[in-house]
Structure 1
């Protein structure tokens, strides 16, 4: 994410301030991803067989109210004073969400809110991670694969201190309104940095936040109460429209129970206490109801229907056992695929077992209480996701390490080092995925490096056994989903 895009047109003082807010924006984006709490819970599985995930009843709500709350609500309670935000000259040009008032003038992934003392703030919202501009249209629910958190180490307490001093000197009321936001982001920022752009550091962010929150009151602690892991494990952002088919959340299916409790976890960034969280909790079922209405975009190019029908037969014979069947009478099996079968990069699910303090925090926290509790149940492997709209959700695998469907189904063609153009990479409708450039060696944070821990592109070798014509047919069929 580049903010502000026209920073060089600002004066020196404005430019310095704008750059600080650019860094701040990049930080808070991470907090709005579907946060992956991590830890250990002893559950015995047969390591050689997929495991079905049982269904849990979910709360119902009003989808229209959920959309309004998602796009204009104050579920993130803190942010920057409006005047400070506007110094970055980041303005909404298209009003993609058709919002009114102040929200009409700011980007879709921010929301104007009012602090308790009446100061107007601009807060990041969930669309930072869960929406993306695609073919010049905003697609709500599409995971944002164009994020850039490689500057995480620059988001440090010193910058937050400078911002705090600026506000204290010029407007104590604005400082008071933004104080909690500045304090929290200043504390967590030194921990966050990904090795390459285009991936999310939600697991790391969640770990830092819960380490500084009381599990029952949710109040902020200046000192971490538990060890924070050193590694930043990357992940891709899954599509929201898949949620209606799922019995559990997250890539390893360990988000069990009430989905609303996980959806509102971004509130941990600025929540004052559990009573404030309870107010958000009352409205989050409406958001879930809205997410259940989302459908993937239709493939915009011409589809070879004869080839797609052949691909459907190949898919049913080779892929449907785990990924389900589609169309009339379709069904999705909700299967967890063990590590011995899937063989993909293990860093994400392994981190759940290597840091048991976080699952203990969550499973004994406010989120696990009440009449719609949530719980974490780690697993050594990953869920086989539904494939609705898979044509537009590149890059692939849980860490976004494979740029196209063509490469996903033929592991021999997966690039070790690859890059996309930024900020607007081109899409390849034949290979189905991002146009990319292959590199011979690592080249800094602009090139995806699959040799790094957590960034591996291995595993999911099931397409390798297919012939080239069969793979071509399956890809044509997947365009129809």
Structure 2
């Protein structure tokens, strides 16, 4: 069977998925277009950089712009119609191509691509009464899975049908394109689709993220080890791609730079720009950066990590700077001050041990951090299984970071493959090493010290050492998650790391009394502090599991703190949480 035949065989199934998705307008699309939009107060500094945050390139190169503009939905409409609002993405009037907040265009290898930025997953809009409220840096209420699958279906449908491809080619290349150009386009689309469809057909089969959740760790591992490290021309290692079945709620970004640990399981040291760089680079690999490292014996580290790498390091620096200016959102409605005072005392007695503001580790260059408590609170453990996944390193077999990550072997931790890829890319981007191999770790450090123009790079070494902790003790580590400082927590529903609890009011109940299922959408309940019971048409439904299955990815179990308070105490605590 030909390559084209192999990859197009299941396209009739994908067409059905696309048809269903096209018929379901997202929860934002169902709202009236003339609803007043209120920008939540997040500080004057943030207002100056908001627009830049919405479109700052970080290196994501998902699909050529000309292609996605030429794609059609199953009903014949433009794929980009409505600015992807059917998936919950928010309009960005500043974007000339009609792309929503968190999407941008940028060139790589003479091709203009559509990519994603931090804002796609970390910009939230909620609705209360007749108004909508924008919360920047908040967990997005978007259906990323359906977006990914519908792109897959749309491209597959084009390749499976000659008239459809002819229409696509005319739109992508312009009318009157030569036969040679059309044939070249088909080859390019077929190659792109082979990798993309392989990922989607395995990672997203029989999983349900719904609105407001994604399995980011799985998708980063799948993208890197499954699509980047195999043999040319497709680079695919199919067996490295695993089901992305540990969805978590998008975290909020305000104060994220101040934590001394980050990521839900707290495996990443944090608190300085240098520590933020490896964290952010891993995220870029997950949202479709182009990255194909290759053996190169004369180069430092004996691999070339930068020649075929679309990461925008300057853009990552800008985004980290923007993130620091996002203030926690201020509750815009009235509160009962007497209850707030009572709730403050209850918070100190019940919650502050884990969620209070305390000094954390001192990170280079001595920036203050907040301590991030890591605790097993009896919640869902599925994400820890993802962290323990192994992978074939492919072309990176034997690659190492001297003194930091040992030579990669088959069936080692996938997180070590990520560490080598991230650190190799950073080292070769920021330090222009001589052409001859520098094998000794001590020589590397001396090179860093000899470059005064790279102020602070000595601290990069200190930061990179922490990467060793990514896989250290993974086999025996307790499946705990970070307990963050709760400023702005009112705006971050649903709750727990996997988004399995609809409101803060529900979180103060024992797991058996929490909602077993609920709708996920933008409508907010400001009394229960979280998702409203009724949502606009198109909202997804999250079906959770109880404490009998802590490995489902959807368990609502755990975090039984505050559940024994009486009803008046719970009401006071909720009132106080609104003011943080």
TM-score, with structure 2 as normaliser: 0.61
SS in structure 1 at match of 2:250: coil
User: 2: distance between equivalents of 1:264 and 1:465?
Assistant: 43
Equivalent of 1:351 in 377, 383, 386: 386
In the alignment, does 2:473 pair up with 1:435? no
Shifted more, 203-212 versus 142-151: the winner is 142-151
SS in structure 2 at match of 1:75: coil
> Cα offset for 1:433?
0.6
Number of equivalences: 411
Equivalent of 1:222 in 232, 235, 251: 235
Q: Following superposition of structure 1 onto structure 2, how do residues 136-175 of structure 1 map, counting pairs within 5 Å?
A: 136-147=132-143, 149=145, 159-160=155-156, 162-163=158-159, 166=165, 170=170, 171=173, 172=181
Of structures 1 and 2, the one scoring higher in RCO (CA 8 A, sep 6+) is 1
Equivalent of 1:187 in 194, 198, 201: 198
Change (3 A) 1:72 1:17: farther
User: 1: distance between equivalents of 2:149 and 2:354?
Assistant: 40
> Cα offset for 1:153?
6.8
TM-score, with structure 1 as normaliser: 0.72
Contact 1:114–1:121 at 8 Å: present in 2 too?
yes
Q: Following superposition of structure 1 onto structure 2, how do residues 36-435 of structure 1 map, counting pairs within 5 Å?
A: 68=52, 71-73=55-57, 75-82=59-66, 83-84=69-70, 87-91=78-82, 97=92, 99=94, 102-103=96-97, 105-117=98-110, 120-135=112-127, 136-147=132-143, 149=145, 159-160=155-156, 162-163=158-159, 166=165, 170=170, 171=173, 172=181, 182-190=193-201, 191-193=203-205, 194-198=207-211, 199-212=213-226, 222-224=235-237, 227-230=240-243, 232-256=245-269, 258-268=275-285, 269-273=288-292, 274-275=305-306, 277=309, 280-325=312-357, 332-337=370-375, 339=376, 342-355=377-390, 357-367=413-423, 370=427, 371=457, 372=460, 373=464, 375=467, 376=470, 378=474, 379-380=477-478, 381-411=480-510, 412-420=512-520, 424-435=521-532
User: 1: distance between equivalents of 2:265 and 2:64?
Assistant: 35
Contact 1:66–1:286 at 8 Å: present in 2 too?
no
**Residue in 1 aligned with 2:75?**
none
User: 2: distance between equivalents of 1:154 and 1:96?
Assistant: 19
Q: Name stretches of at least 5 consecutive residues in structure 2 with no aligned partner.
A: 1-14, 23-45, 73-77, 174-180, 293-304, 359-367, 391-411, 428-456
**Residue in 1 aligned with 2:556?**
457
> Cα offset for 1:298?
1.5
Change (3 A) 1:179 1:365: same
Shifted more, 191-200 versus 387-396: the winner is 191-200
Contact 2:199–2:241 at 8 Å: present in 1 too?
no
Contact 1:244–1:292 at 8 Å: present in 2 too?
yes
Over the aligned positions, Cα root-mean-square deviation in angstroms equals 4.1
Change (3 A) 1:174 1:20: farther
Rg comparison, structure with higher value: 2
> Cα offset for 1:177?
7.9
User: 2: distance between equivalents of 1:134 and 1:309?
Assistant: 27
Q: Name stretches of at least 5 consecutive residues in structure 1 with no aligned partner.
A: 1-15, 24-61, 439-443
Contact 1:200–1:237 at 8 Å: present in 2 too?
yes
